[in-house]
């Protein structure tokens, strides 16, 4: 379990002090995939670097399995880092070492015997599906392959935690998908707790159990992905998750209605039933639904006819059927 307690981080620059993180508190449970999402510059990369103390927090503490990391002497901190794997947007492989040697690197640092290190590295390279590229150098691999090597390297010392700093941001959609699948598999089969930093909703959507939305150096909200996605509370989460508010501003016509699907309701043909029952021709201005853990979530913006009686019929139908909605102004 990782506990982040009242963590603050500020940088002193020539132009004064910049606050990167403000009073961050988070608890990450064993075995979960925890997402941290925010716009660039929100402080999420700094936050993940504070977990393994690549960045020293200005104040506050990081507690790993009950042990405070900020007070550890350097030597012990280095050992703790060997139990926390990390992968990066830029892969950061050693350019002058081949794939096998790259995966062996953390094992060398951890003091494994050469023979044991090679054996473990070969296993991991096989796990990430690159057995035929052991002797290749990073310059000869594609981005997705490089990230696979980085994952193998990060897992070499059997860490219990894996930090992913924008690990898929430099990859194309297909490759992103395969890397996400791999991370999910690692989480399930090896029980590695994964912390994912990203600015992409899709990544959170697909693999995370819980999510923290970070904005302007602070945590805006935290919760289960399904809860945050269906019912975002903070402005930034609404911005990130729901379609932008300005999409409605540009829409013409009055009497707009935002319908919110909560997973179960969208398995039913809600709109079709509404039209059939109320005998009202509604106009779909906008629709966006997502599949979260097998359930569909999302929202739709409808335009109702000018007739007030028809409008009321629709509203009462929605109320009776317990479908969440809000009037758009």
Partner 1 sequence: MISEMFQKLWDNGIIQMGIWETIYMTVLATLFSYGIGMPLGLILSVTDKDGIHPMRVLNRILGIIVNIFRSIPFIILMVAMLPVAKFIVGTSLGNQAMIVTLVIAAAPYVARMVESSIKEVDAGVIEAAQAMGTSSFKLVYKVLIPEAKPALIIGSVISMVTILGYSAMAGTIGGGGLGQIAITYGYQRYNNDIIWVCIILTILIVQIIQEAGTRITHKTDKRIS
Q: Which residues bind partner 1 (CB under 8 A)?
A: 52, 54, 74, 78-82, 84, 86, 88, 90, 92-98, 105-106, 108-110, 137-140, 150, 153, 157, 163
Residue among 98 and 193 whose Cβ is closer to partner 1: 98
Q: By C-beta, is 106 or 144 nearer to partner 1?
A: 106
Q: Shortest Cβ distance from residue 95 to partner 1 (Å)?
A: 5
Structure token pair of residue 128: 């990430």
Gyration radius of the chain's alpha carbons: 24
Of 45 and 198, nearer to partner 1 (C-beta) is 45
Beta carbon of residue 94, minimum distance to partner 1 (angstroms, whole number): 6
Specify whether the CB–CB gap between 170 and 198 falls below 8 A.
no
Nearer to partner 1, 113 or 327 (CB): 113
Least distance to partner 1 from the beta carbon of 273, Å? Answer: 54
Note the Cα 274 to chain centre separation in Å: 36
Closer CB to partner 1, residue 25 or residue 134? 134
Q: Give the nearest distance from C-beta 83 to partner 1 in angstroms.
A: 8
Cβ 90 to partner 1 shortest distance, Å: 5
Q: Which is nearer to partner 1, 86 or 219 (CB)?
A: 86
HEC string of the chain equals: CEEEEEEEEEEEECCEEEEEEEEEEEEECCCCEEEEECCCCCCHHHHHHHHCCCCCCCEEEEEECCEECCCCCHHHHHHHHCCEEEEECCCCCCCCCCHHHHHHHHHHHCCCCHHHHHHHHHHHHHHCCCHHHCCCCHHHCCHHHHHHHHHHHHHCCCCCEEEEECCCCCCCHHHHHHHHHHHHHHHHHHCCEEEEEECCHHHHHHHCCEEEEEECCEEEEEEEHHHHHHCCCCHHHHHHHCCCCHHHHCCCCCCEEEEEEEECHHHCCHHHHHHHHHCCCCEEEEEEEEEECCEEEEEEEEECCCCHHHHHHHHHHHHHCCCEEEEEC
Residue closer to partner 1 (CB basis): 81 or 255: 81
In this structure, are residues 263 and 226 in contact, taking their beta carbons and an 8 Å threshold?
yes
Query: Smallest distance, Å, CB 38 to partner 1?
Result: 20
Residue 217 C-beta: closest distance to partner 1, Å: 21
Pick between residue 82 and residue 222 the one whose CB is nearest to partner 1.
Answer: 82
> With left for phi above 0 and alpha for psi between -120 and 50, is residue 66 left, alpha or beta?
left
Smallest gap from Cβ 298 to partner 1, in A, equals 37
CB of 296 to partner 1, least distance (A): 38
Say how far apart CA 54 and CA 235 lie, in whole Å: 30
Instruction: Name which of 109 and 276 has its Cβ closer to partner 1.
Output: 109
């Amino acid at each position: 379990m990782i506990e982040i307690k009242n963590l603050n981080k500020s940088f002193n620059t020539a132009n004064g002090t910049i606050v990167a993180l403000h009073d961050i508190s988070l608890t990450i449970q064993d075995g979960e995939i925890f997402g941290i999402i925010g716009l660039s510059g929100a402080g999420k990369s700094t936050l993940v670097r504070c977990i393994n103390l690549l960045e020293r927090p200005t104040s506050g503490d990081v507690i790993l399995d009950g042990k405070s990391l900020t007070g550890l002497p350097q030597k012990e901190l280095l050992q703790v880092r060997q139990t926390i794997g990390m992968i990066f947007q830029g892969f950061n492989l050693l350019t002058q070492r081949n794939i096998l040697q790259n995966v062996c690197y953390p094992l060398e640092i951890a003091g494994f015997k050469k023979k044991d290190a090679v054996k473990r590295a070969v296993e991991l390279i096989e796990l990430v599906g690159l057995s035929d590229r052991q002797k290749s150098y990073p310059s000869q691999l594609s981005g997705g392959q490089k990230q696979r090597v980085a994952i193998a390297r990060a897992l070499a010392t059997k860490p219990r935690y894996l930090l992913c700093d924008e690990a898929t941001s430099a990859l194309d959609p297909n490759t992103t998908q395969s890397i996400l699948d791999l991370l999910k598999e690692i989480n399930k089969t090896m029980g590695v707790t994964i912390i994912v930093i990203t600015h992409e909703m899709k990544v959170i959507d697909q693999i995370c159990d819980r999510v923290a939305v970070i904005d302007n150096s602070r945590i805006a909200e935290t919760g289960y992905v399904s809860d945050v996605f269906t019912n975002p509370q903070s402005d930034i989460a609404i911005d990130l998750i729901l379609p932008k508010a300005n999409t409605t501003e540009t829409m013409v016509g009055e009497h707009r209605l935002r319908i919110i699907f909560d997973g179960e309701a969208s398995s039913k043909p809600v709109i079709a039933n509404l039209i059939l029952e109320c005998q009202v021709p509604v106009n779909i201005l906008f629709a966006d639904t997502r599949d979260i853990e097998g359930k569909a979530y999302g929202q739709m913006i409808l335009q109702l006819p000018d007739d007030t009686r028809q409008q009321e019929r629709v509203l009462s139908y929605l109320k009776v059927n317990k479908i969440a909605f809000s009037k758009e102004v």
